[in-house]
Every structure is written in structure tokens, then in C-alpha cells.
Amino acid sequence: MQTDAPIQRRRRAMAEINVVPYIDVMLVLLIIFMITAPMLNLGVEVELPQGSAESLGDISDPLVVTVNRNGDLYLNTGDAPQLVDGQTLVEQVGVLIGRNPDIQVLIGGDQRVPYRHIYDTMTLLQQAGVASIGFMGDPPEQ
């Protein structure tokens, strides 16, 4: 006796992932990051003084206060530098020093900044509880 029922075959599930689309997406993202990365300017434009002082070595995540030619203060805590006034600088640095008293604090001042602006910044940092302050500079040109 013959039946006209079709023979059903079970298909096995594929255990492989097609990675070609993922590679395409990754390459597009790589190109986007390669184009946009040089356009990011996260610093404050200052001309640091040159000197032959020794480097402090590898400092992990220092707190950088930058003073530009106009005497404006910028606080850089790892993100983009923020323009701050004196009172805000004292408050924010005080909070950061309260969390981590061993954090290294550096001042980067433009070489054309009057000394009084650097001195005022040092006074503000001292009010915030900073015990030791370092200065940033560029190595001398050869």
C-alpha cells in the first residue's frame, strides 16, 4: 500500500554565525573614529614655558589647572577642561582632595601670564587643601 504523503525531512539548525555583516559594521565605525579623532581638541591653548627640569615620571590622572593669557582658570579633571572662577575652583578641588588626598595637582600657565595670576591660583589651591603643587612646562627645543 502506497501513501501519497510527502516525506518530511528535518533540517538541522546551523550553529555558525555569519560574521561578514559584523566586520562591515566594525570597519565603518573604525573609519568614523579615524576621521573624528584628530578633530577633537580637548585642551586649552597655552604656550608653556620651556625648561630643562626633570619629569615627574608617570603620574596617573593628575588634576590640572590651566591659566591662559587672560588669567582665565580651566580645571581639567580628565574630561574636557571647564572654565571656572576662583570660588568654584576652591569648591571643586576641595571635593576632589577630600576623596583622594594623594592626587597630584599641576598648574599649567601660559608663558605670557603675569606672575600674579599664577600666585593667585596657587593661593586658591592652598585654600582648597592642596599640600603640593607641580608646574607644567615644555622641554627645551634642541
pLDDT of residue 63: 87
Average confidence (pLDDT) over 80-109: 89
pLDDT at position 115 over 60 = yes
Provide the residue ranges of all domains of the chain, joining segments of one domain with +. 63-135
* Residue where the block lists cell 566586520: 23
CA dist., res. 51 & res. 68, Å (int)? 19
pLDDT of residue 76: 86
| Domain 63-135 coded CATH 3.30.420.270 | yes
Backbone dihedral region for residue 132 (phi beyond 0: left; psi -120 to 50: alpha; all else: beta) = beta
**Beta pairing class for 82-84 and 73-76:** antiparallel
Q: Which pTM value belongs to this model?
A: 0.59
pLDDT of residue 31: 93
Q: What count of other Cβ atoms lies within 10 Å of the Cβ of residue 92?
A: 16
pLDDT of residue 47: 62
Judged by DSSP in three states, 64 sits in strand
